Amino acid sequence: MSHAFQWLRSLIFMIVIYLWMAVLGLLFAPYALFSKRGALQACKLYARTTIWMARWMVGIRGEVRGTVPTGEVMVAAKHQSFFDIMLIFDAVPHGKFIMKRELLWTPIIGIYAKRLGCIPVNRGKKGAAIAKMVKDVAKEFSEPGQLVIYPQGTRVAPGAAKPYKVGTAVLYEGLQNPCVPVATNAGVFWPRTGILRKPGHAIVEFLDPIEPGVERNTFMTRLEDMVETRSNALMREVGFDPDAVH
């Protein structure tokens, strides 16, 4: 398959999924505005249809491995692309994301994020942002769900290095819930920038939970080692060498 043809398929796919987001958002709006259940159903439908369309439109086959958590846990996930968000959200019963505050003002996404109980964070104010995040999460956890946080704070390209942020450990200590690390190789096929989507086997894998009570530095070291080691293995499984990027 030629590069140009795959790029064209990718462009059409991206147009379709964003148009589909707008259509679903408007169709479910009357229900979602007054019901968190309505917002959840709309977002679940969007995630599932996006995963389905990715397979037949651009050749990306999504897979979820490991034991998917169903109780109140913190999910600390490697974040490489929009596609790993879709795979995680589709897998867990009620995902709530730590998200950058700017997304609240995004049409459709912002409204549904609020209804789902996602927690906005001002990334420009370090200490104050962490304190407010802990307070907001404690309030939001009055209802059950799986809190998804990206320890590196943003999407990271396959093979690139970016430090893990202490906010994840602060939440882990405050919530006193298990932390479920998640690895992925999704960015190999669905990159963080550009149009081209490459055919292949995109995986997210839920790893063994880290139980509450682990000391902060030990927790951070263990989390990073688990997520990075397994993500690198998943990338090598599909023929991408993360070490070659450095």
DSSP structure string for 150-211: -TTSS---TT---PPPTHHHHHHHHH---EEEEEE-GGGTS-SSSS----EEEEEEE---B-
The arithmetic mean of pLDDT across residues 154-179, rounded, is 92
Q: What is the largest CA-CA distance in the chain?
A: 52
Residue 143 clears pLDDT 80, i.e. is over it: no
pTM of the model: 0.91
Question: Contact, 145 vs 122, CB < 8 A?
Answer: no
Assigned CATH class of 3-245: alpha beta
Q: How many CB atoms lie within 10 A of CB 193?
A: 8
Higher-scoring residue by pLDDT: 188, 103: 188
Residue 110 clears pLDDT 80, i.e. is over it: no
Q: What is the mean pLDDT of the chain?
A: 89
**Among 96, 239, 210, which Cα is nearest to 88's?**
96
- Domains in the chain: boundaries: 3-245
